[in-house]
């Protein structure tokens, strides 16, 4: 079994600006620069033959390159259940089409459809029992976040596994756009 997802990597120069915002929430597990990405499709655990079929389906995606911007900050969960803080992504029709194409590729090899609404974001930290006041203050401080536009000319298939510091990711294959 291999745990997979597809994503757009955040360029290091954009990621540096996100690293500077990683403070102010006690106990937060801040993500390292190399982990910054915008998930297109979470796949989960699959057998290697299914992963190979998925790779072939993803390679068939034809989509143009486009630009993205990061904007605002937010969190997932409410009250005592807040479990992550993130940087948002400016609404982008090309990104939504790319995510939909990734969803279709996954379905074409028999994987389950995603039931959650697609919310593009870059996870900056995972939280456990974080102070609601600290999270609120962090969001207020970072809600005007805005990155320069950056080009998206590829997306990747990543594997994921747990380490003592949290999830680690490895790029398994890249797919060019344009």
Q: Which of 23, 75, 83, 121 is catalytic?
A: 121
Q: Give bridge partners of residue 9 from the DSSP assignment.
A: 37
Distance CA 39, CA 9 (A): 9
Q: Does the active-site annotation cover 121? A: yes
Tokens at 57, concatenated: 């389906």
Task: Give the three-state DSSP class for 57.
Answer: helix
Under 8 Å CB-to-CB from 63, ≥6 apart: which residues? 94, 97, 98, 101, 177
Neighbour-count burial for 24-39, b at 16+ CB within 10 Å, e otherwise: ebeebebbeeebbbbb
> What 8-state DSSP symbol labels residue 146?
B
Q: Does the active-site annotation cover 83? A: no
8 A C-beta contact, residue 41 and residue 106 = yes
Q: Which of 23, 37, 75, 83 is catalytic?
A: 37
Task: Give the three-state DSSP class for 61.
Answer: coil
Tell me how far the alpha carbon of residue 8 is from its chain's centroid.
7
Please list the active-site residues.
Answer: 37, 121
């Amino acid at each position: 079994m291999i745990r997979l997802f597809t994503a757009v990597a955040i360029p290091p120069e954009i990621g540096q600006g996100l690293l500077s915002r990683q403070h102010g929430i006690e106990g937060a597990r801040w993500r390292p620069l190399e982990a910054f990405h915008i998930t297109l499709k979470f796949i989960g655990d699959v057998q290697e033959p299914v992963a190979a079929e998925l790779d072939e389906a993803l390679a068939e995606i034809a989509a143009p390159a486009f630009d993205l911007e990061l904007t605002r900050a937010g969190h997932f969960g409410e009250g005592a259940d807040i479990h992550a803080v993130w940087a948002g992504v400016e609404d982008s029709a090309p990104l939504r089409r790319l995510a939909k194409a990734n969803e279709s590729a996954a379905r074409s090899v028999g994987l389950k459809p995603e039931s959650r609404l697609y919310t593009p974001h870059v996870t900056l930290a995972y939280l456990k029992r974080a102070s609601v006041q600290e999270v609120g203050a962090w969001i207020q401080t970072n809600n005007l976040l805005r990155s320069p536009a950056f080009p998206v000319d590829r997306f990747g298939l990543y594997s994921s596994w747990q380490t003592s510091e949290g999830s680690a990711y490895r790029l398994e294959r890249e797919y060019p756009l344009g």
